[in-house]
Amino acid sequence: MKADALRGHLDALLLAVLDDGPRHGYAIIEALQARSGGALSLPTGTVYPALRRLERAGYVESTWSTVGGRERRTYQLTTAGRKTLAAERSSWAEFTATIGAFLTPRPVNP
Amino acid sequence: MKADALRGHLDALLLAVLDDGPRHGYAIIEALQARSGGALSLPTGTVYPALRRLERAGYVESTWSTVGGRERRTYQLTTAGRKTLAAERSSWAEFTATIGAFLTPRPVNP
DNA sequence: CCTTCACGCGTAGCGAGTCTACGGATACCC
DNA sequence: GGGTATCCGTAGACTCGCTACGCGTGAAGG
């Protein structure tokens, strides 16, 4: 998949993963990779700053914990985050409908 | 629609419009606007540089003409362009499938 | 006559956001 | 002791669409 195609959809993606329940950064990356069949393997340098951005925006909250001697920062959706996710989902539908009108393979005229 | 959601899909969009036949820049913008029901109104500063990029890449060819005293640069797909468009269409399908797996509104558990 | 709008081309610079490339630390297995 | 998996993070480069310009013609309307 082209690298920069994600532009503008990453936040929605992260919120969607967190909608399944709280996760820490590393687990989010793994969840994306697993549920996409390996198609989405985002580098940490992409995900961590994005999570901080979402927290600054008030869409997620984070809490530190120590598991097996390792520090974890677990994120979970806020109410605002859930609302934003819903908006992102519908704007995703609108987006695919708009662009898809041009790009979905149309049947060759018979 | 969010502004930067287009990232990485603009080229495909332009190729798709030109797949319907040769057009000049202004007409391409109008076609996008018309076929999308007004959702896609791209500024000239977005489209013109993109067309030059596509021409440099060898996906389109341009010819100048004068219509009603006005200079027009008409673009048309090359063979490479058509091939690229086909690839872009299938990568669009893959893209929407991957991201859609996370973002298409799933039924709320009853 | 002269303003305004649609047509039609173009460039310069900004800005947002993703990626690459680092750095640091702990736990477990061989 | 060394390698691998787990877990966090930052700094800088880079891409590319957008904003804001600039230039010119033709038709319409006051």
Q: What is the DSSP letter of A108?
A: P
Give the rounded percent of residues in chain A with a pLDDT score beyond 90. Answer: 85
In this prediction, residues A14-22 reach a mean pLDDT of 97
Paired strand residues for B72: B65
* Closest residue in B to A102 (Cα–Cα): B16
The model's pLDDT over B53-70, given as tens digits with 9 standing for 90+, comes to 999 999 999 999 999 889
The integer distance in angstroms from the CA atom of B46 to the C1' atom of C29 is 55
Residue found under tokens 């057009």: B23
User: In Å, how far is B64's CA from the nearest CA of chain A?
Assistant: 26
Calculate the CA dihedral of residues B11, B17, B18, B22 and round it to 10 degrees: -140
Rounded Cα distance between B67 and A6, Å, is 40
Q: What is the pLDDT of residues A57-72, one digit of tens each?
A: 999 999 999 998 899 9
Indicate the domain borders of chain B. Answer: 3-99
Tell how strand A70-77 and strand A23-24 pair up.
antiparallel
In this structure, which amino acid lies at residue A50?
A: A
Q: What confidence score (pLDDT) does residue A4 get? A: 79
Half-sphere exposure of B14 (CA within 13 A, CB side): 31
pLDDT for residue B29: 97
Record: fold of B3-99: Arc Repressor Mutant, subunit A (1.10.10)
Contact B8 A2 (CB under 8 A): yes
Residue range A3-103 forms a domain whose CATH class is mainly alpha
Flag residues of chain B having pLDDT under 50: 109-110
